Homo-oligomer: A and B are copies of this chain.
């Protein structure tokens, strides 16, 4: 497993690693569907104009052009807003999809979306150029009750809790709270303050203070207030009293306090220990308008956020019609990379196959296929040997592929099955024999740290 990708930033898994990824994806899908989220996929490409509509992220985008077309796609230069480029997240494409298909969707529309996205960034641990995201969002037509902010956080906590990963914390803040507070202390450029606060973990409070003073002209008092707010972190709703003790009054601040209180209150009850109010969370992207979330794996904080998102009230609109939404995005590749590199989970075997049907003569391939068909009809993954080699060689073949059982049929049509791990061989009827539940399908289980 000490392989390196042949193209930096484009990870590929071996079959036994892919089994771990599939387990993660299946678990997420199951949880999302149990909560009534519909699956959709959007095309991998958007127009450059659509992608660059929000935020200044153009340095990360891969543009497309047909190889034989030196002018770029259909004669367009790659900076032409109609040129095509690969999507860099699933939120912007989803907003476009909602607007285009509004007439065919029932609102509030709940969807999950699990797809690859691409960013032309410099690859490093936890950051790939091609990676899989798993998103859930709820989008309303006109308005969207705040309750969905609470629900989304709970669904994600349940989904992450079902994965073979270390303990995690959703760190939740609210943009209204922060922006209202900044306005309350007289800092009008709230987006600028958020951008600086967003750097807190990376550059530390002194440098953030410097930024706030030099770039936004903040006073010492304003800087101190902003940093005090960002320092508040509670596992219950006591953050409300701590904010109030800072003595700032503003209507938007009150609204934000009330919203964040609702999320934390529900989480304390329904996902105890999984959620903290963390008033340093800002999120760089500027389309968030309320709840904002980042998530860390406990003990793996340097990996960065494994699940982020929040409320966006103005990302999607069609004329006067607005489609406010709230959603969270799990960084599947980041999680799976960590699981694999630190052996946090393992597949019980490396192939789906439970049984290899051996051949005792080359012309018994048809009979062996009949046995296999009977086993498969009961959901037992089975393959048939291609050559009637010595049984020892066929057993070795099964062992090398990680197949637990080998099936033998002798010249008189007597059937036996051997568990090649224990060496135990017993008579068996292809019409009824079934392995234990643990051996029927590949099991992926978390490995406890020693």
Which of A's residues lie within 8 Å of B, judged by CB? 3, 5-7, 10-15, 18-19, 22, 33-45, 47-48, 58-69, 73, 78-79, 84-86, 96-97, 100-101, 104-106, 108, 110-111, 116, 118, 120, 130, 145, 147-148, 151, 154, 266, 269-270, 350-353, 365-366, 369, 376, 379-384, 386-387, 400-403
Contacts and interface: CB of A to CB of B under 8 A. Distances in A.
Contacts of A66: 59-63, 120
B65 A78 contact: yes
Contact of A63 (B38, B64, B376, B401): B64
13 contacts: A3-B104, A6-B100, A13-B40, A14-B101, A18-B39, A35-B381, A48-B67, A59-B67, A63-B67, A69-B120, A147-B387, A151-B386, A266-B366
Contact of A62 (B36, B67, B402): B67
- Looking at chain A's contact residues, the main secondary structure is mixed
Contacts of A111: 15
B67 A64 contact: no
Contact of A148 (B11, B12, B37, B386): B386
Contacts of A369: 154, 270
Nearest to A100: B6
A7 B6 CA distance: 33
Given A36-B403, A44-B44, 17 more contacts: A12-B42, A13-B40, A14-B101, A15-B40, A35-B376, A36-B352, A45-B130, A58-B67, A63-B64, A66-B120, A67-B78, A106-B402, A108-B386, A145-B386, A147-B365, A154-B369, A270-B369
Given A7-B45, A44-B118, A118-B44, A39 B65 contact: no
